[in-house]
Structure 1
Amino acid sequence: MDTERRLLDGLDPEQRAAVAAPRGPVCVLAGAGTGKTRTITHRIAYLVHRGHVAAGQVLAVTFTARAAGELRTRLRALGVTAAQARTFHAAALRQLRYFWPRVVGDEQWDLVEGKLRLVAQAANRVGMSTEAESLRDLASEIEWAKACLVAPDDYPAEAARLHRQPPGPVEQVVQVYRAYEQLKTRARLLDFDDLLLHTAAALEEHGEVAAEFRDRYRCFVVDEYQDVTPLQQRVLDAWLGNRDDLTVVGDANQTIYSFAGASPRPLLEFSRRFPSATVVRLERDYRSTPQVVSLANQVISAARDRPAGSRLKLVGQRAPGPEPRFAEFDDEPAEAAAVAARVRSLVDEGVPASEIAVLFRVNAQSEVFEQALAEAEIPYQVRGGERFFQRPEVRQAMLALRSAAVSPPPGELPEVVRTVLARVGLTEEPPSGGAARERWESLLALVELAEELAASVADATLGGYVAELDMRAEAQHPPTVEGVTLASLHAAKGLEWDAVFLVGLVEGTLPIQHADGDNAAIEEERRLLYVGVTRAREHLWLSWALARTAGGRRYRRRSRFLHGLLPDSHPAARTGQTRQRDGGPGSVGRRTPSKPRCRVCGEFLVDTPAVKLGRCVDCPSTLDEELLTRLRAWRSERARELKVPAFVVFTDATLVAIAEQRPTDSAGLVAISGIGASKLDRFGADLLALVHGDR
């Protein structure tokens, strides 16, 4: 009874209802910050404790290695060590390797290393471009098709039905898709989607395999169920058979991967499929202050046609905190400088740098914020430090720890780890800064991970610690390193910080330009903002800039998603007015920027595409097709040299504007949207040479 009380104590009534629900179908509709991971891990432990299922018969699946690692850590702390917690792909790989001799009968096929190589061969066969960005687009489209169970022959009809924008002529995409599959099969290789396809087929077509698997696993838990694809749902159905011992947890308001085939439909229709299901709604938000929660509710409540299962209204449970800040700036450098200044203030107030994040819609937005943080001497890490285990000092440390584990020195695990790492540079006091400080921070993070393991596992050993490090390295599940996180909104999903800066909130970026005109795509962009807002525990900052470069034309408009979130009397609501360089909310000047006019008809330009072109979309084009071809070839060449996507050099819209306007000097170049001072310095000479026909 003590164990049962421990598993139920500290849970709110809704969490307790989900944990103690009878064995069978359970659907947990869990809003952001409502304790969903705590709920499902306690449910697994409760079912095991009550004898409803053995720990080894539980399979919990989620969508990222980081989330799977978190589930394992939580279950281990609850004394449940035999339950499996894996990603869909990791679970399928394990099962396929085990059943392969019976299903296929010969030597196991290897996993594809570098899918783009095979895609390039397939594209070359059919005469499509083999430039890196084209290959990435083709690979993504093939992944979408397989995730949605769309075969090559069915692709044209499905792409048309769903209004997809194929990365080339549809028939050529089909030919590349078909050739890719043929090349892969002849080489006896599997890609990650094949793991799921073959696992499902093995269970569907081989009764004895299905019987053995279903005898081994009796209870299934799916986290982030709103992100399931048709292929993953097929695998889950194959795992279940005709059983219903399934717990799912998800939040349709956080569906942000529709472009990859994810759909909240299985979550929203769960009770229709399982009429006897227990449905629990978690709406008490323990993560964020009431002020942040209120803003999040305002963001998502403005969504159109919300299905019933997504109408969660968060209720903040924390003590009140500061109001979210809104700020408008003349240009991106001013916005970035203000963000860096506010970050410095928060750090000085005691907020750890690792508990601060700057989030943006696309990765290309990070550069100006990286520069501003560097100039302010504020440490940062891009995209959360996924490459932690590839750092030279960490690899050296792991070698030292692995060697020491053969004959470990006496003592408690954290002290043993600190002693070993002292040999590779961990000192008692941190270096003053620079690369030496970064190295020290990495080593210290390994010590803190040892402390975390020792706190959750009695008599933790150095060997067990090294095994944990190896597992995290394989799963890309790094410990926290001191430094501000710079990440895209998609990459921030599942994470949280004390302070969050949502930056670059302008039309054409959020919502992204290519989403305009598609209501479903626009609503997904709104959910991205909701995800960003709900990452913040206490401090929340939302900002945008009217121009890209210092002194540039202030033609941008704040995101439509911000309308109604701040009163018209708020200084930041006065879009189009100039703000002081310190960017402080409330610092509004008197100047009103001139609106750009069409160079053909003279009308004011409003829409982002028109501003980029410098003319109304309906006005006659003066496009120089030959120049545009030269510009695109040059862009591809520079992108390869710089090892960046082509759009980072220049977007298609900017190249079209150059090919239409044919600028003859630097002033003409910077007058084009997308060409600022830094890009003028890097690429201006090349562009003018291309316009003049000298290249």
Structure 2
Amino acid sequence: MWWVVAAKMEGMDAEGVLAGLDPEQRAVAEAVRGPVCVLAGAGTGKTRAITHRIAYATLTGVVAPQRVLAVTFTTRAAGELRGRLRQLGAPGVQARTFHAAALRQLSYFWPRVIGGDPPRILESKIGLIKEAARACRLSFGGTELRDVASEIEWAKVTQCRPEDYAAAVARSARKAPADVVDIARVYVMYEELRRERNLLDFEGMLELTAAVLTEHREVAQQVREQYRYFVVDEFQDVNPLQKLLLDTWLGDRDDICVVGDPNQTIYSFTGATPSYLLDFTADHPGATVVKLVRDYRSTPQVVGLANGVIGQAKGEAAKRHKLELVAQRDNGPEPSFAEYDDEVAEADDVARRARKLIDEGVPAREIAVLFRINAQSEAYEAAFAAAGVPYVLRGAERFFERPEVREAVVRLRGAARAGADAETDGTGLIMTVRHVLSGAGFSDRPPEGAGAVRARWESLAALAQLAEDMAADNPQAGLPEFVAELEERAAAQHAPPLEGVTLASLHSAKGLEWDAVFLVGLVEGTLPIIYAETAEQVEEERRLLYVGITRARVHLSLSWALARTPGGARFRRPSRFLEGVNGRTGTSAPARVDRAKRRPAAKGPQPCRVCGRPLTAAVERKLGRCEDCPVELNEDLLAALKDWRAGVAADQKVPAYVVFTDATLQAIAERNPGSAEELARISGVGKTKLDRYGEAVLALCTG
């Protein structure tokens, strides 16, 4: 049987797939026939549950892998699904975004049912909308063009034609970015230009695919024969156009499993609606419903705050399918609340506290600053640059589309074809990658200051760090494997973590998580945003804060400023969503720091303790020396430290690196500290970890 062969190929059997799942996750995995509705709270392992369900269904012969279509919203999420399914013995499952699945089907059937030259996919509407506006004798600025483009996208996904646009805006209490009559005129002209030039936008792609299946019975039969088993992730974010296509794929069948969290509905402005998730049991009587509420991501303190914020939600929708998370991790620090005189003081103190976390051993890439609107990033970029804390602005540009990254991948691909490291081990991989990247401008020492040169160096450094991570996971990996990893990541837009604190909007942070999160600018008018006028819009803003809170694993800070600028009127009020949960009766604000007094950090790169060369690689900075410098290593102590760390990590239910990284343990084994002072001088051993683990580590060292 095909499922037995697949299981043997991957070394996995059906019972093995169920092993390690909690009772609710196992209930999802064993519900192999639809309709199934999984209500999954943040951090509860929904991806684990649905991938194990698919694998269990294929390994038990319920469905062939090739007959499964798993649909999600991002190429990265689709890539993660495929990767997990391969590991579980279901490599043939199709995991795609709505648009990727539609484009594949449309391209395949186009010659048969339409014929002629297929349309060219329109990657961005901006240029065509600018032409359409000019034809209507209207002039929009750059920001206005983007807003009009978003408005037309909303109209198209909600199946609203130009002549109905004005009425639809009024009906939905939506605030249009320009005169509704002007937008409707531009919408008409945009569609005319698009058709004249044989262009197809992403919304048209879904609509046309659904139309082809509806109008051509033989096409629908072929697609439904191919895909008999559906899984839809993030179902609370489905819009009417996506639902139309999904219903067309399904036909009169009900083998569908949907997964979502009504508490994380934050995209209604794009046309998404949670009603399909909330009404699933009404549409599918007798559906199996499973709630995942065990939170494995965050500490009880973070989970408690999240429950407190979302528990105050108002309205009928908030009461339906209510999810209250139950923390599974050990206790951590209480979330902190801070009030500042102005935004400059707030940004400066956040930068200072981020630096403190880094000094205590939290990697910079495991820290995030999240804000409501992108314009808030400016103060934090300035504060982090002045404090010498590296940062990454999420959403500014796709990593694999950066010119320096494209050039580096081409160079690495060429070196792999030439057999540059045919006989090297993991260390050789690191050296080879760094050598190839040096041809693209990478050096061991970062350039002075900030700007484009520093940004280019950071991109190349991220690739070098990725090679180090691969070598640590698989010492036998060579350059061909590294290039294959890069290409797979590029296809899924899965960028390597850059070594810097993440600055991101709350919307762009959904689906991500960090050890430490700073939620900033939590004032009335910003969260909830001033444009949130209806009760439904305000409740969506509450859910946005909930999403931000649940991004944090351990450390969580919430803050607000009473004035925008130093010396400004202090009239702002903390967000209404903090009422009853902030545990504050008023505290003095930290002293304001004048932006003019900021000075760039003068501290240079850490020198090697053996040869004195500046250290730039993360692993070298942890070790305190160059990787190739001679040093004495107590192998027995290193083994004992790793055994101790494994036990602590298991007890605390955290990844081993959260206790201490491999590099930190190696540095301890090399230096063999005899006192707390000596141990504290090792990179990665900050005050918190010294207090928590210092006695046990020193006992191993002196024993």
Query: Normalised by the size of structure 1, how large is the TM-score?
Result: 0.78
Tell me, yes or no, if the aligned pair for 2:429 and 2:471 is still in contact at 8 Å.
no
My pick for the range that moved more, 75-84 or 194-203, is 75-84
1:473 to 490, 499, 506: 490
Q: In structure 2, what is the Cα distance between the partners aligned to 1:98 and 1:471?
A: 24
Secondary structure at 2:345's aligned position in 1? helix
Q: In the alignment, which residue of structure 2 is the partner of 1:635?
A: none
Secondary structure at 1:92's aligned position in 2? helix
Tell me, yes or no, if the aligned pair for 1:383 and 1:487 is still in contact at 8 Å.
yes
2:422 counterpart of 1:410: yes
Secondary structure at 1:95's aligned position in 2? helix
Q: In structure 2, what is the Cα distance between the partners aligned to 1:512 and 1:350?
A: 35
Q: In structure 1, what is the Cα distance between the partners aligned to 2:590 and 2:368?
A: 24
1:438 to 447, 453, 458: 458
Aligned 1:314-393 pairs, distance under 5 A: 314-383=325-394, 386-393=397-404
2:440 counterpart of 1:423: no
Q: In the alignment, which residue of structure 2 is the partner of 1:153?
A: 163
Q: In structure 2, what is the Cα distance between the partners aligned to 1:401 and 1:338?
A: 41
Aligned 1:228-243 pairs, distance under 5 A: 228-243=238-253
Q: In the alignment, which residue of structure 1 is the partner of 2:637?
A: none
Change (3 A) 1:53 1:322: same
1:497 to 514, 519, 529: 514
Aligned 1:235-634 pairs, distance under 5 A: 235-307=245-317, 308-383=319-394, 386-408=397-419, 409-411=421-423, 417-425=429-437, 430-431=444-445, 434=448, 435=454, 438=458, 441-448=461-468, 450-451=470-471, 463=480, 465-515=482-532, 517-569=533-585, 571-572=586-587, 579-581=590-592
Change (3 A) 1:477 1:385: farther
Write out per-residue CA displacement over residues 287-333 of structure 1, whole angstroms, 9 at most, x where no aligned residue. 00000000000000111015344410000000000000000001111
Q: In structure 1, what is the Cα distance between the partners aligned to 2:393 and 2:130?
A: 29
Shift of 1:392: 4.5
Tell me, yes or no, if the aligned pair for 1:59 and 1:221 is still in contact at 8 Å.
yes
Q: In structure 2, what is the Cα distance between the partners aligned to 1:80 and 1:146?
A: 36
2:128 counterpart of 1:112: no
Q: In structure 1, what is the Cα distance between the partners aligned to 2:426 and 2:205?
A: 39
Change (3 A) 1:88 1:468: farther
| Structure 1 unmatched runs, 5+ | 584-695
Write out per-residue CA displacement over residues 157-194 of structure 1, whole angstroms, 9 at most, x where no aligned residue. 21221122223332222221111111100100100111
Q: In structure 2, what is the Cα distance between the partners aligned to 1:294 and 1:411?
A: 53
What amino acid is the match of 2:568? G
Tell me, yes or no, if the aligned pair for 2:69 and 2:227 is still in contact at 8 Å.
yes
1:209 to 219, 222, 232: 219
What amino acid is the match of 1:481? L
Shift of 1:104: 1.1
Q: In the alignment, which residue of structure 2 is the partner of 1:21?
A: 31
Q: In structure 1, what is the Cα distance between the partners aligned to 2:590 and 2:470?
A: 48
Q: In structure 2, what is the Cα distance between the partners aligned to 1:3 and 1:350?
A: 40
What amino acid is the match of 1:31? G
Aligned 1:134-149 pairs, distance under 5 A: 134-149=144-159
Q: In structure 2, what is the Cα distance between the partners aligned to 1:439 and 1:509?
A: 32
Change (3 A) 1:292 1:426: farther
Change (3 A) 1:567 1:81: same
What amino acid is the match of 1:124? R
Tell me, yes or no, if the aligned pair for 2:362 and 2:515 is still in contact at 8 Å.
yes
Shift of 1:525: 0.5
Q: In the alignment, which residue of structure 2 is the partner of 1:38?
A: 48
Secondary structure at 1:514's aligned position in 2? coil
Aligned 1:619-658 pairs, distance under 5 A: none
Q: Alignment identity in percent?
A: 57
Q: In the alignment, which residue of structure 1 is the partner of 2:195?
A: 185
What amino acid is the match of 1:343? A
Shift of 1:65: 1.8
Tell me, yes or no, if the aligned pair for 1:293 and 1:534 is still in contact at 8 Å.
yes
Q: In the alignment, which residue of structure 1 is the partner of 2:696?
A: none
Q: In structure 1, what is the Cα distance between the partners aligned to 2:140 and 2:459?
A: 39
Q: In structure 1, what is the Cα distance between the partners aligned to 2:220 and 2:54?
A: 23
Change (3 A) 1:419 1:567: closer
Secondary structure at 2:303's aligned position in 1? helix
Tell me, yes or no, if the aligned pair for 1:354 and 1:481 is still in contact at 8 Å.
yes
Change (3 A) 1:292 1:74: same
Tell me, yes or no, if the aligned pair for 2:344 and 2:592 is still in contact at 8 Å.
no
Shift of 1:86: 1.4
Shift of 1:219: 1.1
Shift of 1:406: 2.8
Q: In structure 2, what is the Cα distance between the partners aligned to 1:452 and 1:166?
A: 52
1:128 to 120, 138, 147: 138
Shift of 1:397: 2.5
Shift of 1:44: 1.0
Write out per-residue CA displacement over residues 605-635 of structure 1, whole angstroms, 9 at most, x where no aligned residue. xxxxxxxxxxxxxxxxxxxxxxxxxxxxxxx
Tell me, yes or no, if the aligned pair for 1:324 and 1:541 is still in contact at 8 Å.
yes
Secondary structure at 2:483's aligned position in 1? helix
Shift of 1:66: 2.0
Change (3 A) 1:462 1:385: farther
Secondary structure at 1:164's aligned position in 2? coil
2:60 counterpart of 1:50: yes
What amino acid is the match of 2:445? P
Change (3 A) 1:69 1:22: closer
My pick for the range that moved more, 5-14 or 518-527, is 5-14
Q: In structure 2, what is the Cα distance between the partners aligned to 1:454 and 1:26?
A: 39
What amino acid is the match of 2:117? E
Change (3 A) 1:390 1:107: closer
Q: In structure 2, what is the Cα distance between the partners aligned to 1:417 and 1:206?
A: 53
Tell me, yes or no, if the aligned pair for 2:434 and 2:464 is still in contact at 8 Å.
no
Secondary structure at 1:248's aligned position in 2? strand
Tell me, yes or no, if the aligned pair for 1:359 and 1:492 is still in contact at 8 Å.
yes
Aligned residues: 574
Change (3 A) 1:131 1:438: closer
Tell me, yes or no, if the aligned pair for 1:68 and 1:85 is still in contact at 8 Å.
yes
2:237 to 222, 227, 233: 227
Q: In structure 1, what is the Cα distance between the partners aligned to 2:300 and 2:141?
A: 49
Q: In structure 2, what is the Cα distance between the partners aligned to 1:210 and 1:392?
A: 42
Q: In structure 1, what is the Cα distance between the partners aligned to 2:61 and 2:473?
A: 28
Q: In structure 2, what is the Cα distance between the partners aligned to 1:215 and 1:292?
A: 46
Q: CA RMSD, aligned part only?
A: 2.4
Tell me, yes or no, if the aligned pair for 1:18 and 1:39 is still in contact at 8 Å.
yes
Q: In structure 2, what is the Cα distance between the partners aligned to 1:327 and 1:513?
A: 22
Tell me, yes or no, if the aligned pair for 1:380 and 1:485 is still in contact at 8 Å.
yes
Q: In structure 2, what is the Cα distance between the partners aligned to 1:413 and 1:209?
A: 51
| Structure 2 unmatched runs, 5+ | 1-6, 449-453, 595-703
Shift of 1:153: 2.2
Tell me, yes or no, if the aligned pair for 1:66 and 1:476 is still in contact at 8 Å.
yes
Tell me, yes or no, if the aligned pair for 1:325 and 1:541 is still in contact at 8 Å.
yes
Change (3 A) 1:189 1:9: same
My pick for the range that moved more, 78-87 or 278-287, is 78-87
